[in-house]
Amino acid sequence: MTDLPLAGPLPAISEVPASSLAAWLEARGEPAYRATQVLAGVHRPEVTGFGAISDVPAGVRADLDRSFRFGTIRGSHVLEADGGLTAKAVHELADGQRVESVLMRYPGRRGAAPRTTICISSQAGCAVNCPFCATGQAGFGRHLSPGEIVDQVLHWHRDPWQALGADWRSGSRSGTYNIVFMGMGEPLNNTDRVFEAVRLLNDPERLGIGARHITVSTSGVVPGIDRMIEELPQVNLAISLHAADDVLRNELVPLNRKWPLEVLMAAGRRFAARTGRRVSLEYVMIDGMNDSLEQAERLAVLAAGWRSHVNLIPLNPTPGSRWSGTPPARVSAFAGVLRAAGVPATVRDTRGREIEAACGQLHAQLAGRELPAATRRGGRAREAVAP
């Protein structure tokens, strides 16, 4: 596979298999170690183009530039909040599709290492059509390629303002970044490419992010959960539940008509039993919709007795939505019912609310707007938003 396509975009270096790169270099008479050197260079955070990989001969760098794309993202619009601890980017891809990613930094307290969570998209848009979700409302665009998925992580890795690369260089790589597939799209409707992206993120010659630091969130694609058990048993699974009976869930997560609660919960239990890993059950709390204590009791029955953990997330209302988030007192009462039944439950904070950080929201806000000129040239536009 050393021939390059005659038309269409060049292959992206972030998804070119190491063996293909090695063969391509060998065909140019380069020594075997060159592929490792190129990959190491591409992943050094300060390197922003093939020309900057200084330990590789200039002729090879020029050849790389003619034959591969250094990145699949044409430009990014970045909004920051919490003094830069939360940041959100809308990325424009080669064909003009736009996707979002979010960065959340947790400074290490009392000598502990800082943690960084990067939330990435798996599709442009989403076909599942959950009525409370801005991405769902926008409809399906297309699947993302493995390189387009990985490049969202590389965007933050290379961000000079965030300087994440310093943590990556000094810490154990495997624990430096946590990656969550909670941006736009349903990852298990794009399984082949998402799984390939996970393997690329894992690769010690690339970012070397450990599987245990990666979480796939699904609205309930059961065959995809079974593939995770077989192919990626060390990756964490989160199931977006949002309702504890089929009538309500059919409305909130329309995919429930295909794989109803009983079938979905059986898949969750299978995952926990086979992998020994705890499954997160995500529950977006919508005022007056799914937050009654009766729903809490039903949810407790679904979640009790196996390795599960409930995350309660007050709805981040989308513009024009008829729904709002459950008030804090009712969230606590709901959590109390779960805990009394022995089900571990955490109330999640809503970081980034002021920068439209919920799935698909910033994208919706910028839709139809030209991204600023700096962004279109491959640079970036930044805005700081006061809390």
Report how far residue 304's alpha carbon sits from residue 301's, in angstroms, rounded to the nearest whole number: 5
State which residue, 133 or 296, has the beta carbon closest to ligand SF4.
133
Report how far residue 255's alpha carbon sits from residue 245's, in angstroms, rounded to the nearest whole number: 14
How many C-alpha atoms does 288 have within 13 Å on its Cβ side? 3
Give the count of beta carbons closer than 10 Å to the beta carbon of residue 107.
10
Which of ligand SF4, ligand SAH, none is residue 324 near (CB under 5 to 8 Å by kind)? none
Q: Please report the sign of the dihedral spanned by the C-alpha atoms of residue 142, residue 145, residue 149, residue 154.
A: negative
- Tell which one of 87, 103, 118, 126 touches ligand SF4 (CB under 6 A): 126
- Tell which one of 151, 186, 282, 291 touches ligand SF4 (CB under 6 A): 186
State which residue, 148 or 167, has the beta carbon closest to ligand SAH.
148
Residue among 100, 148, 186, 356 flagged as catalytic: 100
Binding mask 86-125 for ligand SF4 (x = CB under 6 A): ----------------------------------------
State which residue, 37 or 129, has the beta carbon closest to ligand SF4.
129
| Contact call for residue 284 and ligand SAH (CB under 6 A) | yes
Residue among 126, 130, 133, 359 flagged as catalytic: 359
Q: How far is the CB of 43 from ligand SAH (least distance, A)?
A: 26
Q: Are 292 and 244 in contact (CB under 8 A)?
A: no
- 3-class SS letters over the chain: CCCCCCCCCCCECCCCCHHHHHHHHHHCCCCCCHHHHHHHHHCCCCCCCHHHCCCCCHHHHHHHHHHCECCCEEEEEEEEEHHHCEEEEEEEECCCCEEEEEEEEECCCCCCCCEEEEECCCEEECCCCCCCCHHHHHCEEEECCHHHHHHHHHHHHCCCCCCHHHHHHHCCHHHCEEEEECCCCCHHHCHHHHHHHHHHHHCCCCCCCCHHHEEEEECCCHHHHHHHHHHCCCCEEEEECCCCCHHHHHHHCHHHHCCCHHHHHHHHHHHHHHHCCCEEEEEEEECCCCCCHHHHHHHHHHHCCCCEEEEEEECCCCCCCCCCECCHHHHHHHHHHHHHCCCCEEECCCCCHHHCCCCCHHHHHHCCCCCCHHHHCCCEEEEECCC
- Tell which one of 101, 117, 218, 256 touches ligand SAH (CB under 6 A): 218
Report how far residue 52's alpha carbon sits from residue 58's, in angstroms, rounded to the nearest whole number: 10
State which residue, 117 or 218, has the beta carbon closest to ligand SF4.
218
Q: Report the residue closest to ligand SF4, judged by CB.
A: 136
Stretch that binds ligand SAH, among 43-51, 102-110, 169-177, 181-189 (CB under 6 A): 181-189
288-317 residues near ligand SAH, rule: CB under 6 A: 313, 315-316
**Is 196 a known active-site residue?**
no
Which of ligand SF4, ligand SAH, none is residue 318 near (CB under 5 to 8 Å by kind)? ligand SAH
**Is 354 a known active-site residue?**
no
97-136 residues near ligand SAH, rule: CB under 6 A: 126, 132-133
Q: Are 21 and 38 in contact (CB under 8 A)?
A: yes
State which residue, 126 or 154, has the beta carbon closest to ligand SAH.
126
| Contact call for residue 128 and ligand SF4 (CB under 6 A) | yes
Which of ligand SF4, ligand SAH, none is residue 21 near (CB under 5 to 8 Å by kind)? none
Report how far residue 249's alpha carbon sits from residue 255's, in angstroms, rounded to the nearest whole number: 9
State which residue, 221 or 303, has the beta carbon closest to ligand SF4.
221
| Contact call for residue 256 and ligand SAH (CB under 6 A) | no
| Contact call for residue 219 and ligand SAH (CB under 6 A) | yes
322-381 residues near ligand SF4, rule: CB under 6 A: 359
Q: How far is the CB of 3 from ligand SF4 (least distance, A)?
A: 37
State which residue, 136 or 210, has the beta carbon closest to ligand SAH.
136
| Contact call for residue 359 and ligand SAH (CB under 6 A) | yes
- Residues belonging to the active site: 100, 359
Footprint on this chain of ligand SF4 (rule: CB under 6 A): 126, 128-130, 133, 135-136, 184-186, 219, 240, 359
Footprint on this chain of ligand SAH (rule: CB under 6 A): 126, 132-133, 181-182, 186, 217-219, 240, 282, 284, 313, 315-316, 318, 358-359
